[in-house]
Structure 1
Amino acid sequence: MYLVHVSLHSPAGPAPLPDGARERLLAAAVAEEGIEHLCVHTGAEPHPVLGVFLLADRVEDAEDRAQAFCRRAVAPVPALAGWRVQHGQVPLVTAFYEQALAAPDPAGRNGPGTFPST
């Protein structure tokens, strides 16, 4: 599963998503797209960002499908008339994983020592 952040831009400039937009967009998902969950990052500046969680084999496929889904799902929603998808990318979380791997955890998959299942 991938998380893709998709930036949505209002025709009137920076603005929050209208009430109920998340639910309307999620209702437009079809099984073939692999959409599992949507969240709205309300604090994103200057434009709202949707967190699209979806199943895909590759990061590139996830980014392409999340953007395509958002373009398709935004179009028929009257409250989102004129809104456009600016970009969609999997967020980088390298710093989080580097910190987790450097932490003094007990032996196991992310710590020193052997993998417990071996």
Structure 2
Amino acid sequence: MYLVHAELRRTDNAPLPSDAVRLILDSRGPDEGVEHVVVHAGTEDGGPLVGLFVVASGVEEAERVATRVCLRALDDQPELAGFALTGCAVRLVPGFFDLQFRQEPGGQDMPGPS
């Protein structure tokens, strides 16, 4: 499962609907793997940040699914008409990878040959 962050930008002064999570979940397809959605009121530029938890075979697939679901929600849900998608990506967690590199010989994040 991947946590994909979707950044939204307001195109007008519309407030984020209180049922934004439901609106986005209602926009997912039955086989798209979106399990859970969370919404945070604002990012640095003032737009909402949406977290989509996506079951996928890899990061790129998870990002594609999250992008597709968000765009569908923005297009199909009239309550979200005042928003645009500005980015959709899995965020790297540097501390996690730094720890892996320190624990594995040679800086590998996968075991070397036996």
Instruction: Say if 1:7 and 1:85, in contact at 8 Å, map to a contact too.
Output: yes
Question: Residues 1-49 of structure 1: CA distance to partner in whole angstroms, max 9, x if unpaired?
Answer: 0000001112126x65222111111122222111000001224222111
Instruction: Say if 1:16 and 1:42, in contact at 8 Å, map to a contact too.
Output: no
Deviation at 1:101, TM superposition (A): 8.3
Give the number of equivalent residue pairs: 102
Which residue identity is paired with 1:27?
A: D
When residues 71 and 44 of structure 1 are mapped into structure 2, their CA distance, relative to the original with a 3 A threshold, is same
Q: Secondary structure at the match of 2:35?
A: strand
State how 1:35-114 maps to structure 2 within 5 Å. 35-46=34-45, 47-98=47-98
Instruction: Say if 1:6 and 1:87, in contact at 8 Å, map to a contact too.
Output: yes
Where do 5+ consecutive residues of structure 1 fail to align? 103-118
Where do 5+ consecutive residues of structure 2 fail to align? 103-114
Structure ID, larger Rg: 1
Q: Which residue of 1 aligns with 2:17?
A: 18
Q: Secondary structure at the match of 1:39?
A: strand
Supply the RMSD in Å over aligned alpha carbons. Answer: 2.3
Q: For the residues of structure 1 that align with 2:94 and 2:75, how far apart are their CA atoms? A: 34
Instruction: Say if 2:73 and 2:80, in contact at 8 Å, map to a contact too.
Output: no
Q: Which residue of 1 aligns with 2:108?
A: none
Q: Secondary structure at the match of 1:7?
A: strand
Q: For the residues of structure 2 that align with 1:43 and 1:74, how far apart are their CA atoms? A: 17
Which residue identity is paired with 2:70?
A: C
Comparing 30-39 with 76-85, which one deviates more in the overlay? 76-85
